[in-house]
Amino acid sequence: MKARRDAGQRALVVLTLALVAIAAAYGLSWLARATPGVTWTVSWDVWTVASAVGTIGATAVALWLAVRGIRSERDRASRVVSAWVSDEYLPDPETHRYRREAVLHVANESDEPVFGARVSVVVGEDGVRLGPLAAPSIISVIPPRRELKFDISTALRAHENSWMPRAELFFKDPYGRRWLRNADGDLREVTGEKSELVHDGENDMRQVGDLQSQENPLVIAMMWLEAVRDGRLDDVEFTSAPEADWWQSTDWAALADRLRDTQPTSFVDYPAASVARVKVTDDVSLQGMVVRGEGVVLDGGSWITLTRSALRGWRVFAIGRAVRPDDVALPDDAFG
């Protein structure tokens, strides 16, 4: 609608200029007739001027159409960049049950790369954002004619209400413009728009997921933090991964003091199968805040790294720096 309005405004400007030029030509013609004793060097008649104005107007319109064509060509790359979630249930002969397989797809069907992509999985009719889950927080480049796939089946187990999974995608085109493909598939330019943190306690709790499930790494991380702060070492042991080798030498009183104000953020990162990371922060002002827009980077803080066993669920493996998946000691049934 805006494009049509702009086109109409441009056409009106061209028409106005043409009418002004024709009026000026009539004025010159009248002035020449009114002053017969004066020799005029301007010899254009009205129709010559009108013809010239018409040529100028046609050139202006042609130039506008060319510019619009260039923009359309630039937009073409953005129109074929998308993200979605495939969600199906497959029979498992060993357990005689169905197994959910959910895959996040990020595709670029254009002939040019796009950059700095941020994807977030969205669930439910009201569109609760769960973050990138198994996808990188920032995908530096999506090559042309490529489709990236991320298995989010394990991540969705943490959320009882994870029906209707879909995805929203932010990305930058080769011309530096930022775009959003929302969860409904609509595309719009968002260049210059800023993200912000806003208070939304209800949405924040829905992002946490199922509070009763050991398939929810965020819940286990919160239980572990509370146990450490309260000095309940039996509960610390229960929520810790036995494969970690640093628990026995830990000064739990000193750690409890260091973690006194530490709280987890609501998005969980799944860098590899059976590995999860939860960002924790000491900034109490962030409690109850959710991101509106593309995303924000939280400076400082630490990471709680967790591992998953098919038998016992998630357990805390480490706290501090973000542990790479190939530095994590996994339980024997991690891939079971």
**pLDDT of 118-143, one tens digit each?**
999 999 988 889 999 999 999 999 99
pLDDT at 33: 55
Per-residue pLDDT tens for 140-171? 999 999 999 999 999 999 998 899 999 999 99
pLDDT at 54: 60
Using CA atoms, how far residue 87 sits from 96, 104, 329, in Å, is 19, 9, 30
My answer on whether 38 and 116 are in the same domain is no
The CATH number of whichever domain residue 189 belongs to comes to 2.60.40
pLDDT at 289: 61
Asked if residue 35 belongs to a domain, the reply is: yes
Residue 31 pLDDT more than 60? no
The answer to whether residues 287 and 304 touch, using CB atoms and an 8 Å cutoff, is no
Q: Are strands 139-142 and 187-189 parallel, antiparallel or unpaired?
A: unpaired
The CATH number of whichever domain residue 281 belongs to comes to 3.10.450
Per-residue pLDDT tens for 273-291? 999 999 998 877 666 566 6
Domain end (from 34, 61, 76): 76
The answer to whether residues 296 and 266 touch, using CB atoms and an 8 Å cutoff, is no
Residue 72 pLDDT more than 50? yes
**Which is more confidently placed, 2 or 88?**
88
pLDDT tier at 35, thresholds 50, 70, 90: low
Per-residue pLDDT, averaged over 222-243, amounts to 95
Residue 1 pLDDT more than 80? no
My answer on whether 203 and 321 are in the same domain is yes
Per-residue pLDDT, averaged over 229-255, amounts to 92
Asked if residue 336 belongs to a domain, the reply is: no
* Total domains present in the chain: 3
Domain with 97, as residue range(s), is: 81-193
Per-residue tokens: 160: 């009882």
Domain end (from 39, 55, 76): 76
pLDDT at 266: 76
Dist CA 298 CA 60 (whole Å): 49
My answer on whether 245 and 261 are in the same domain is yes
Per-residue pLDDT tens for 84-110? 999 999 999 888 999 999 999 999 999
Residue 174 pLDDT more than 80? yes
Asked if residue 332 belongs to a domain, the reply is: no
Give the dihedral sign, CA 246/252/257/260. positive
Q: Are strands 146-151 and 139-142 parallel, antiparallel or unpaired?
A: unpaired
Residue 53 pLDDT more than 70? no
**Which is more confidently placed, 332 or 57?**
332
My answer on whether 92 and 177 are in the same domain is yes
My answer on whether 202 and 321 are in the same domain is yes
> 3-state class of 153 per DSSP?
helix
My answer on whether 143 and 265 are in the same domain is no
pLDDT at 145: 96
Per-residue pLDDT, averaged over 170-185, amounts to 95
Mean pLDDT estimate for the chain: 81
My answer on whether 62 and 100 are in the same domain is no
Per-residue pLDDT, averaged over 172-201, amounts to 87
Dist CA 9 CA 3 (whole Å): 10
pLDDT at 38: 47
Asked if residue 333 belongs to a domain, the reply is: no
My answer on whether 215 and 319 are in the same domain is yes
Asked if residue 121 belongs to a domain, the reply is: yes
Asked if residue 100 belongs to a domain, the reply is: yes
- Nearest Cα neighbor of 319 from 259, 235, 229, 232 is 259
Domain end (from 55, 76, 97): 76
Dist CA 292 CA 282 (whole Å): 21
